[in-house]
Amino acid sequence: MKVRKAVIPAAGLGTRMLPATKTVPKEMLPMVDKPVIQYIIEEAVAAGIEDILIVTNRAKSAMDDYFDYYPELETRLNQAGKDKELNEVRRAADLANIFYVRQKETRGLGHAIWRAKRFVGDEPFAVLLGDDIMRAAKPVTLQLVEAAEKYGASAVGVQKVDTQAISRYSSVKVSPLEERIFAVSDMNEKPKPEEMFSNYAILGRYVLTSSIFEILENVKPGYGGEIQLTDGLRELCRQEKMVAVDFEGRRYDTGNLNGFLEATIDFALDHPDTGPWLRRFIKSRAGEL
């Protein structure tokens, strides 16, 4: 089992970030000096993935433009001797082989992933949600790919969340296999605390076998009237082996305002161009609060 392809669903409406996301895709919002989606592509590339499909919609063509060349701008930067900027602009366009498909109707995450069927064929593939940025010493997708390859199984990335917070996620039923890796036998979407299987919640990263496509074709609309990926995954873990990886790293949900601001502050503090200044700024503001 070798994972060479990744799918990034990025066709959601981003209603939690309105009005900013009315015309700018949430995946294109700047995280310090790069758009959110670039961090996610970089994580996939760092996991050894060569071909990446982004699932978009009619309001998101800024993403295809971003990963394209821009000759007029590049010539201007070259003439001005702005080599650093020129390299960064080029690097984004050369990161990976990026493909696009549109989700013509916003019918849920499961439906968005189903749109990748032709791109994926019958290989295992990684899924990285377009608004979840991970910071980890070892890329989270690589942690999942290694577990999936070792067990010949699908893999979901999980971490423990508080019981009160579990209703925002999918809770998985797990039994231990080795340190940080579990077998998955069931799951449910947005459970009430009394319905949850465990405090382990699925957080934005997956490695799936192509069996998911046939399953998604037959999934009925679930929570919120959408085709839920969790409903497909529940069926997948009953048919085939699936593992959960309690990944090492921190996840930022940049699709809501608090998560976006947390990520912005943490990334800016660590960025050499902004870190020292931001540290001073926060300290001086903290004194006034």
55 binds ligand UTP (CB under 6 A): yes
157 binds ligand UTP (CB under 6 A): no
Q: Exposed, middle or buried: residue 71 (CB in 10 Å: 0-12, 13-18, 19+)?
A: exposed
Determine the interface stretch with ligand UTP among 101-109, 118-126, 155-163, 257-265 (rule: CB under 6 A): 101-109
Which of 41, 43, 63, 103 is close enough to bind ligand UTP by CB under 6 A? 103
User: Positive or negative CA dihedral for 274, 278, 279, 281?
Assistant: positive
12 binds ligand UTP (CB under 6 A): yes
Cα distance between the two ends of the chain: 54
Which of 13, 45, 62, 101 is close enough to bind ligand UTP by CB under 6 A? 13
Determine the interface stretch with ligand UTP among 92-100, 125-133, 149-157, 159-167 (rule: CB under 6 A): 125-133
Residue 64 CB: number of other CB atoms within 10 A?
A: 13
> In the range 228-267, which residues lie near ligand UTP by CB under 6 A?
255
CB 109 within 8 A of CB 229: yes
Which of 6, 10, 147, 263 is close enough to bind ligand UTP by CB under 6 A? 10
In angstroms, the CA 5 to CA 124 distance is 8
Determine the interface stretch with ligand UTP among 123-131, 142-150, 190-198, 233-241 (rule: CB under 6 A): 123-131
Number of residues forming the site for ligand UTP (CB under 6 A): 20
In angstroms, the CA 216 to CA 169 distance is 19
Helix (H) / strand (E) element for 150: namely: helix 140-151
16 binds ligand UTP (CB under 6 A): yes
In angstroms, the CA 157 to CA 169 distance is 12
Q: How far is the CB of 79 from ligand UTP (least distance, A)?
A: 38
In angstroms, the CA 103 to CA 6 distance is 16
Lookup: tokens for 271: 């960025």
102 binds ligand UTP (CB under 6 A): no
Site string for ligand UTP, 58-97 (x = CB under 6 A): ----------------------------------------
